[in-house]
Structure 1
Amino acid sequence: MITATREVPESCERVWEVLAQGWTYTQWVVGNSRMRAVDPNWPEPGSSIRHSIGIWPLVINDATIVEESEPPHKLVLRAKLGPFGAARITMLLHEIPQGCRIEMIEVPVEGPMGAVPDAIALAAAYPRNKECLWRLAALAERLEPSQVK
């Protein structure tokens, strides 16, 4: 299990708005190179997004399916990764005095990913997930150029 966290000076509702827009996933999910389709009822349980992972022209077309959705605090996704298997991604949004703490928990659930030793999986996925949360926070905050150093 790999857990990354980030605090954002925005409400859980504002962060949830970004998660609920399936077309934004290429903007914050590292490795997701393009969106191909989004179910109109995203992020209800059973809905999916169709995406490609990788760097063109070496891309794999696959899908992410919503397993559980509790707006605006919990979203559980099953991210398929072609021949590499699948991972369960749990996004938890916690109210804090300064805004929202985002927790991203990733667990390999099928295929070769599940056979990778925890230390190696952690070394590979933790930095990626930290970057995902940085990007998600940026989309939620929507800063203007004058607000960025």
Structure 2
Amino acid sequence: GWIEKPTYDATNHRLIWSAAIQDIGTNEPLNEQGVNYNTYLLGREGYFSLNLVTDRGSVDHEIPLAKRILSSVKFNAGQRYADFNESTDKIAEYGLAALIGGIAAKKVGLLAMLGIALLKFWKVTAIGVVAVGALARKLLSRKKD
């Protein structure tokens, strides 16, 4: 569940949220579970991401440190969110909710695509190995005759 529900700081153009994480199949006490704290600082052409993964017992101490680090990050002039120019810039095709859910989905999608490619590659390799083995067997069996 949420440790900190997604919020958007419109003044500083920051998207912040954190969620509890736990290894599947464990019954860790609440204070030993993990926390995935995410912040995005939005810019004109993209975003800066700061992720903090820690345990629940120390998150209250570490989040202020993460916020302090993020507050020191600034985009160069011309690249800030406020520098958006309607006449020349393209509006993103996704919203803030897509950043929260979509980034994770994109990572999972990438891994799935890599897995599919790997499976296809192994099938081709297996076919090649069988073909080479059959050819070698055929060549070796001719010499015996």
Q: Which protein has greater RCO, CA pairs closer than 8 Å, 6+ apart?
A: 1
- Normalising to structure 1: TM-score of the pair? 0.27
Structure ID, larger Rg: 2
Higher helix share: 2
Which structure carries more strand by proportion?
Answer: 1
Normalised to the residue count of structure 2, the TM-score between the two structures is: 0.28
